[in-house]
């Protein structure tokens, strides 16, 4: 019989696999179409880094053995929102999108709202799992390094109407994910443990 951790990881991995499939499906058009933009390419890379970090965090950072039904559903909702975000950027009919630049500006609110929902879901995860005696330093670090910067970038992306501000939000978002990815990698590296 599978353990709870195996069930959580399997469910999340399946949903994240669908998200990556959507991104890969749209990649050719996003990167080769003259009607794509640098902003869209940054968003695509950010989505890939997001899914990669989410899968790694699921398998590495959390004490999965103590998860319960609520934990499972909170984490599955996060994976589902990730899929919806990736599917919005690169839907099943990506080959029919004439201009990914215009497409992104049509779905940009959805993209940033998905990020906001994931940030709120992250808060729910940390608040619910705080019962597992997370160290106060890690709790404070989560809010100061992960949640607050993420929400500030999301607010910029939500309210930015110009292409230049969307590019700035997309670039900051990618830098944010790279920074957190490096932090996650260093945290899990054998040299630091």
The answer to whether residues 154 and 189 touch, using CB atoms and an 8 Å cutoff, is no
Name the residue with tokens 């103590």. Answer: 66
65 vs 6: which has the higher pLDDT: 6
125-161 residue pLDDT tens:
888 876 566 677 778 888 898 899 999 999 999 999 9
72-117 residue pLDDT tens:
788 888 888 999 999 999 998 888 889 999 999 999 999 999 999 9
SS3 62: coil
Give the C-alpha separation, 107 to 105, whole Å.
6
Nearest to 71 by CA among 119, 79, 49, 113: 79
Nearest to 108 by CA among 170, 59, 48, 53: 170
| The most confident of 2-11, 51-60, 101-110, by mean pLDDT | 101-110
Token pair for residue 182?
């490096």
DSSP class of 190: T
Per-residue model confidence (pLDDT) at position 169: 96
Give the C-alpha separation, 128 to 37, whole Å.
40
Sign of CA dihedral 72, 20, 118, 94: negative
Mean pLDDT of the chain: 84
Per-residue model confidence (pLDDT) at position 163: 93
Q: Tell me the average pLDDT across 168-177.
A: 95
Q: Tell me the average pLDDT across 55-73.
A: 67
Give the C-alpha separation, 25 to 30, whole Å.
10
Report CA dihedral (171, 141, 79, 160) to the nearest 10 degrees: -30
């Amino acid at each position: 019989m599978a353990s709870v951790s195996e069930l959580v990881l399997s469910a999340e991995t399946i949903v994240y696999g669908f998200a990556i499939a959507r991104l890969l499906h749209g990649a050719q058009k996003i990167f080769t179409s003259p009607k794509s933009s640098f902003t869209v390419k940054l968003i695509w890379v950010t989505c890939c880094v997001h899914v990669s970090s989410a899968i790694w965090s699921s398998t590495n950072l959390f004490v999965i053995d103590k998860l319960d039904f609520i934990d499972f559903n909170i984490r599955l909702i996060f994976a589902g929102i990730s899929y919806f975000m990736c599917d919005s950027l690169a839907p099943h009919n990506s080959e029919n999108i004439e201009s990914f630049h215009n497409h992104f500006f049509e779905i940009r609110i959805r993209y940033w709202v998905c990020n906001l929902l994931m940030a709120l879901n992250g808060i729910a995860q940390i608040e619910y799992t705080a019962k597992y005696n997370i160290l106060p330093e890690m709790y404070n670090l989560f809010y100061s390094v992960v949640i607050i910067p993420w929400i500030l970038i999301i607010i910029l992306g939500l309210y930015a109407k110009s292409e230049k501000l969307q590019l700035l939000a997309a670039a900051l978002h990618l830098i944010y994910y790279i920074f957190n990815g490096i932090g996650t990698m260093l945290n899990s590296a054998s040299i630091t443990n």
